[in-house]
Structure 1
C-alpha cells in the first residue's frame, strides 16, 4: 500500500515496487543520535522547518507506507545538513502522546544515491518513537542536492483505535554550499548498521529469561540467528573516518555495540600488569577494549528517565562524542550487536540499529592502538509526550475473581478491537473467562485484517487489568501469536493456535501488543 503526501503526484508503479523492498529494509523506529556540536560560522547556518503530510491515520493503523518528499518540503539550494530534529504533530501543531499515536518509524530515503551497506536507495536519516536528534561535528555535513529524489518510508501507529490527522515534521540546520562555511565543509555518508540488515522487517525476539544475568545480546546469544550468513557485519568499502554514530533500540533495550576487526592486524593489549590500584585503573581506561581480534568502537546506551526502568519509550540514546574521529580502512569489518534486559518481560519485534556517518579519506584515531569507545551524551532531555502513563488502577474486571464462562469455542474471532469471547470489555457474562480443556484446539482469527488492522494474542501477568500504556501490560513470555496480519509488519497469517497442551490449570490473561487496551482471558481446566 502507499500513503502519499496530498501535495505530491502519485508514485509510478515501478517505483512503488522498488520501494516496497528498499523501504521495508529500512524499517526501524530509529533516529540517528550523533554527537552534539555547533556548526561553524553561525551566520552561514540556516534553521529550516518542514512538514510532510498531512497523513490520515485510520483506527488501529500500524502499516508501512511511502510518501514522496516534494521540493517544497526540503531546501531549495545545494548545501550540507548538519542537524535534523524529527517530530510528529497533529494538524494544530500539538504533539500526540506516544501511547496514543506515535512515529513507529520514518526513514528518509535518497533514491538518487546507493545505500552503502545494503544497496538500493540510501537510508540517510531516520526517526523513531524516541525522536533522537541528529548532529554531526563542525566541518562535516550530509551533502544535499535539490535534484535528488527523496521519499519517506513511514509507519504511523494508532494504539487506541481512533482516527487522526498528523504531520511528520523535521527541523534542520543547513549550510548552503556556496557560503564561506559551505565551501569548507566535508561531506559524510551514512553507514547503516543493523543486526538484521537486509531483512524485509529487521526484527528479533527477546524471550524472558534468555541470555545471562538478565541480559540478552543479539545475535551472540541467539540460536541460529541467520540463514545464509551474518547480517550484522559490513566490510568497509574504502578508507575513511567515522565522525559520528548512535544506536536505536526498542523498549527493554539497553545498548548497541559497534566492533571492528582488521584482518591481519592485532589490536594493542593493555600493559598494566606492573601497576596497581588507581594507576592500574587509569592504565586500563586508556587502552582499547578488545575481545579476541575485535576492538570496541562505540556503545550507544539507552537512558530511561522514569523510575520504571527499561520498559517504555521514556528514553534517549547516547551518541558518539564530538571528537570520536575513528580511522577505518578498506577491508575492515564492522560488526553490531544489541543488548536487551530479559529479566522483566519478553520483548517481541525488537530492533538493534546503529547509523554511522563516515567521511572519505585518511586521518582519525587508529582504534587498534587508541581507546575510542568513550560514552557520549544523550541528544535530548526528557520528552513530556513519552512519559508512560500505563499501569494505573481502572474499572476493568479482575478475571481471577470472575466465575468461569462457558466452554471455549474452537475458534475465537478478533473483530472491531475485541476478542469475541472473554474480552474484558464485553457486556455481562461475555467477559467471563471461557473454559479451555488441556489439549483442546482453540484458534484465534484476526477478522480485522481486511482493514489492515493487525492484532496479537500475548500473555500478560494476571490480572492484567490496569490502564494501558507503553509499559503496561508487559508480555510475560508464556505465549505470543505474533502480529496477526497478511502484510508486513504482520507475520503473513491471520490465524494462531493457542498452545493449550502445555498450559497448566489456571486463569490466563492476554492483550494485544499493537493495541494494548485490548484484554482477554481464559481458564484452563
Structure 2
C-alpha cells in the first residue's frame, strides 16, 4: 500500500487541528537509593477493532487492505510520565497473535502528536511530531537505562494505520501496543529524548519504486540539533536487505540494520509468501554523538527479483538533545 494518500491526509489533519542488544533495562536506579523497578509501570492499549477485506489472489497486488486511515485523539498510556519502552503487535479479539500465517499484516502504523513540530519534517512548525512507528516486523523500542520519551497531559495523539490481509476471508483485528513508563519523581530524573525520522525519499512521502536487481537509494539530512542518539531502527519492504545510517561529516557508521524475511512460520502465508520477520535495532548510551550541522545519510539497499512499487527505506530513532 502506498503512503501517498497518507501525506495528504496528514497535511489536512494538521490544517484542521551502536549495537543491537536485547534485555536493556528500562530505567536505572536514581539518587536516594530508591529501586527504579518500583517506579515502572506497564500498560497495553488496544486500538480498533478494524476489519480488513479479504484477499482476491495470492500476490501482493491482490491482498486485502484498509488503505491509509487516520484515527484522531487516540488513547495515551499515561500523562506527565516518561515512556521507556514500546512493543507493538497485531491481535485478534481473543488476544491471539494475528500475522500473515492466518492473514493479517501490520503494513504500518505511525503515532504522531499534533501541534508539535517534527525534528526532521517541520511542516511549518505545526507537526505532527512522529513519536513511534512500526511495520509488520514489529520491532520494539527499548530505550537504554536513564532515558525516556516525555508525555505531557496536553499532548494529543493521532495514528495513521494501514492493514493488509493475505487470507481469502476478511479479518477483524486490533493494533495492540504495550507501553512501559515511569511516573513521579523517578520520571523527572530520566533524560528526555526527541524522536527522529529519517528516510531515503522526502519529508512527507517515503515511498519509491525499485527495479529488478540490486539498487541503493540514499538521502541526507543536516542535523539541526546536537546530542546523543540512543536508539535507531530500520524499516524496509519486499526485496530490502539493509538500511544504514552514517554520519557523512565524520565518516562514522552509526547503525546498520539487516532484515530477515520468513524467519518464523507466522511470517509465511499459505501461499509461501514471506514477510520481514526481524530488523534488529541499534541501542546504546549512546549509539553515537551528533553535532548541529553534521550531515546524516541513510542508505536503503534492495535486491529484488522483480520490480516493486511503493517500497520504503526509513530509519527512526531517539536523540537526547544537549
Equivalent of 2:233, from 241, 246, 271? 246
Which residue does the alignment assign to 2:41? 46
Which residue does the alignment assign to 1:398? none
What is the Cα deviation at residue 23 of structure 1?
A: 8.8
Q: 1:244 to 1:36 in 2, by over 3 A?
A: farther
Answer whether contact 2:143 2:231 (CA < 8 A) is retained.
yes
Answer whether contact 1:208 1:345 (CA < 8 A) is retained.
yes
Equivalent of 1:255, from 235, 242, 247? 242
Q: 1:117 to 1:314 in 2, by over 3 A?
A: closer
What is the Cα deviation at residue 55 of structure 1?
A: 1.7
Which residue does the alignment assign to 1:513? none
TM-score calculated relative to the size of structure 1: 0.50
Whole-angstrom CA distance in 2 between matches of 1:355 and 1:318: 13
- Name which structure has the greater RCO, CA cutoff 8 Å, separation 6+: 2
What is the Cα deviation at residue 56 of structure 1?
A: 2.8
TM superposition outliers: structure 1 runs of 4+ over 4 Å? 22-25, 33-36, 306-309
In the alignment, structure 1 segments of 5+ residues that lack a partner are 1-16, 26-32, 210-214, 220-231, 268-293, 362-525
Which residue does the alignment assign to 2:10? 21
Q: 1:34 to 1:188 in 2, by over 3 A?
A: farther
What is the Cα deviation at residue 54 of structure 1?
A: 1.4
Whole-angstrom CA distance in 2 between matches of 1:66 and 1:91: 21
Q: 1:300 to 1:69 in 2, by over 3 A?
A: same
Equivalent of 2:259, from 284, 288, 302? 302
Which residue does the alignment assign to 2:278? 316
Answer whether contact 1:35 1:137 (CA < 8 A) is retained.
no
In the alignment, structure 2 segments of 5+ residues that lack a partner are 1-5, 15-19, 29-35, 55-63
Answer whether contact 1:35 1:245 (CA < 8 A) is retained.
no
What is the Cα deviation at residue 122 of structure 1?
A: 0.7
Equivalent of 2:196, from 160, 184, 191? 191
SS of the residue corresponding to residue 98 of structure 2 reads coil
Deviations 1:177-217 (A, max 9, x none): x23x21210100111000113243x22222223xxxxx321
Which residue does the alignment assign to 2:105? 102
Which residue does the alignment assign to 2:216? 217
Which residue does the alignment assign to 2:57? none
Which residue does the alignment assign to 2:17? none
Which residue does the alignment assign to 1:336? 298
SS of the residue corresponding to residue 168 of structure 1 reads strand
Answer whether contact 1:206 1:347 (CA < 8 A) is retained.
yes
Q: 1:356 to 1:88 in 2, by over 3 A?
A: same
Answer whether contact 2:90 2:98 (CA < 8 A) is retained.
yes
What is the Cα deviation at residue 34 of structure 1?
A: 8.4
Q: 1:323 to 1:45 in 2, by over 3 A?
A: same
TM-score calculated relative to the size of structure 2: 0.80
Which residue does the alignment assign to 1:118? 121
More strand by share: 2
What is the Cα deviation at residue 118 of structure 1?
A: 0.7
SS of the residue corresponding to residue 155 of structure 1 reads strand
Answer whether contact 2:114 2:128 (CA < 8 A) is retained.
yes
Q: 1:182 to 1:199 in 2, by over 3 A?
A: closer
Considering only CA atoms, is the larger Rg found in Structure 1 or Structure 2? 1
Answer whether contact 1:259 1:295 (CA < 8 A) is retained.
yes
SS of the residue corresponding to residue 148 of structure 2 reads strand
What is the Cα deviation at residue 251 of structure 1?
A: 2.5
Whole-angstrom CA distance in 1 between matches of 2:97 and 2:319: 33
Aligned counterparts, 1:388-403, within 5 A: none
What is the Cα deviation at residue 131 of structure 1?
A: 0.7
Whole-angstrom CA distance in 2 between matches of 1:97 and 1:110: 28
1:151 to 2:193 alignment: no
Answer whether contact 1:52 1:69 (CA < 8 A) is retained.
no
Whole-angstrom CA distance in 2 between matches of 1:84 and 1:244: 12
Q: 1:97 to 1:321 in 2, by over 3 A?
A: closer
Whole-angstrom CA distance in 2 between matches of 1:108 and 1:49: 15
